[in-house]
Each structure stands twice: as structure tokens, then as C-alpha cells.
Amino acid sequence: MLFWDGPARDAEALLRSLAGEGASLRLCGGPALSPDGMRANVRPLLEGIAWVADDWSLAEPVRAHLDSVARAGGGRPGSLWTRGYIAGHAIAAAVDLGARTPGELSEILRGHAPAGTLDPAITATTLPVFVVKNGRPQEVQQP
């Protein structure tokens, strides 16, 4: 397996090189591997490649409500609102567990997950994963 973390413009050269060498491996990475950003003659080389979106998505009812709140406040819905929702949800969960000061809040948040992570079950979030099938991205459905 090879995890690609480079820019989309360099992915084409990598894909051609791997195909030319007859390499057989799984390639995965971020949105730079989306067929949407590639030329048509490169898309067949992307078949079976998996990539993870660069931002979290919310369950549809939560996203719709959050979008309406953003519009009502004169804002524009988007990833900043999603991230704020996730952060607020994590803080509220810590308060529910007894955090009453900034130190207690930090301690609880650190104690429940490694730094920079969150529990998707608590926040109703998913990090979309896609696989290229027939030249098109298809989201992998989470169980």
C-alpha cells in the first residue's frame, strides 16, 4: 500500500510510472487523488484508488439545521460552521462530564481522545472515504 500525500499535479506522473513498471499495489491518499481533478486520459489509472475527504461531514438533519442557523445569522454555511459544531459538541460533552474550569475542560478533552481526534459517534460526523469505480468517485458507505 502506498499513501500519497503530494499535490494532484505530481500524482499523474506517479500513476504513469507505477503503471509503466507494472507495479501492483493499493494507492490511497487525500483529495488530490480525486478523478475530478485529473485529465480524462489519466482517469483509467485511478481505478480502485481510495481517498479520504479533507473535511468532516455531518448527518443530513444536523447539517440542514446548522446551515439554516448560519443563514439566519447572515453567515454563509460551510466547513467553518461544521468545525464549530464539532468543537462545541466536544466542549458540551466535557461540561456534562463535570468540567467547570478551563483546566478541567482541557483535562477531560485530553483524557477521552488523543490530541486532534474526536469520537464520531458523539458528534454525528463522518469523514467521507471514496473509491474510484468506473472512473468516478463513489463514497464508501459507513456501517
pLDDT band at 112 (very low <50, low <70, confident <90, very high): low
**Which domains are assigned to the chain?**
2-53+128-139 (3.40.50.2300), 57-126 (no CATH)
Q: Are 14 and 6 in contact (CB under 8 A)?
A: yes
Alpha-carbon gap, residue 27 to 14, rounded angstroms:
10
Cell numbers at 68, concatenated:
439554516
Q: What is the pLDDT of residues 50-89, one digit of tens each?
A: 988 888 888 888 889 999 999 999 999 888 888 888 888 8
Q: Is the pLDDT of residue 100 over 80?
A: yes
26 versus 50: the higher-pLDDT residue is 50
Q: Are 63 and 57 in contact (CB under 8 A)?
A: yes
Q: What is the pTM of this model?
A: 0.62
Taking the CA atoms of the chain, what radius of gyration do you get in angstroms? 19
Which of 23, 25, 27 is closest to 50 using CA atoms?
A: 27
